[in-house]
Amino acid sequence: MVGLIHRTSVALAKKFLPDPMALGLKENIVIRQKPTDGQRKKHNITVEAFQDRPVFVFDQPKNGEPLLYFCHGGGFITGMLKEYYDAVARLQKKIGIPVICADYPMPPETDAQGLLDFNLACFRNVRENYPDSPIIISGDSAGGHMTMTLTQALSKKERKAVSAIFPLFAVADMSREDDGQPYHKEEALLKKKNMPGVRDRFIGTFDKKDPIISPLYGELTDLPPVHIYSADKDPLYQDSLDLEAAFKANGQAHTHHIFQGYGHDFILFFPTPDGARGLAKLASHMRESLDL
């Protein structure tokens, strides 16, 4: 059952939370923020560079030890924001392994192919630097989309080096003409008014069923074990159900973990008792996939 503290937090977020997606769409820009000095110190964040873009490293990876390659969300409109550093840090502390998170380019800086090319090159650079480290690929929302497209773009040999992938509250199918899911009162992070613009800006001139736009139509076999996390009051819930059905039809090893009564991305962005329990479940599952 959803707790009172969580319900109150959702209500307050719906009323007072800023809407950077709307600004990004209006100005046709990507909204980003740097971590504060306090966040860098508190969360042990170092900033590296890859192809002239910042890559944020939470804790210090060592070759041979596990790490998480995390693709941040934000609707392909926002990059790393102050709230995201705290969210990723909470996950890092729960799972207990270093996290590498790149602030990747997005439209209008590049198109969907350029975005994927950057993440593919960045991931390969990580593998080059830590060739003996077990690795998980994960991401939330738009980052869940990239978790899928990045893994699909890897060679079969490269996939064998990935212990598991965790698409969280993921975008999987942009071919729908509408959102395909009602907006419930429990939803605070995704605004219905923004979704058409989010889709149009990311899709650009690509076909909506191109796998780099809608990974549901990409390769769905011979992937590392896939662990889907979703919530039934999330506008993107149907995407997770469709992914699950496609994996089942293709014989791909997978699990699907559904949180009943919650909205989009709540385990990362709501540090309530409910969110903390969900995050603890995810972190425990990630550790289990690494045999930790």
* For the chain, domain boundaries: 4-289
Residues whose CB is less than 8 angstroms from the CB of residue 225 and which lie 6 or more positions away in sequence, other chains included: 163, 164, 165, 253, 254, 255, 289
CA dist., res. 161 & res. 170, Å (int):
23
Q: What is the pLDDT of residue 115?
A: 97
- pLDDT under 70 in the chain at which residues? 177-181
Token couple for 247: 């994996």
Q: What is the pLDDT of residue 67?
A: 97
- Which residues pair with residue 77 across a beta bridge? none
φ, ψ dihedrals at 47, nearest 5°: -115, 120
Q: What is the pLDDT of residue 182?
A: 79
**β-strand 45-50 against 67-71: which pairing, if any?**
unpaired
- From the CB of residue 76, how many other CB atoms can be counted at a distance below 10 Å? 25
The superfamily in CATH containing domain 4-289 is Alpha/Beta hydrolase fold, catalytic domain (3.40.50.1820)
Please state the pTM of the whole predicted model: 0.96
- From the CB of residue 241, how many other CB atoms can be counted at a distance below 10 Å? 17
- From the CB of residue 14, how many other CB atoms can be counted at a distance below 10 Å? 15
Nearest to residue 152, comparing CAs of 210, 238, 73, 203? 210
Name the residue with tokens 């598991």: 164
Q: What is the pLDDT of residue 148?
A: 98
User: Cα 77 vs. chain centroid, distance in angstroms?
Assistant: 13
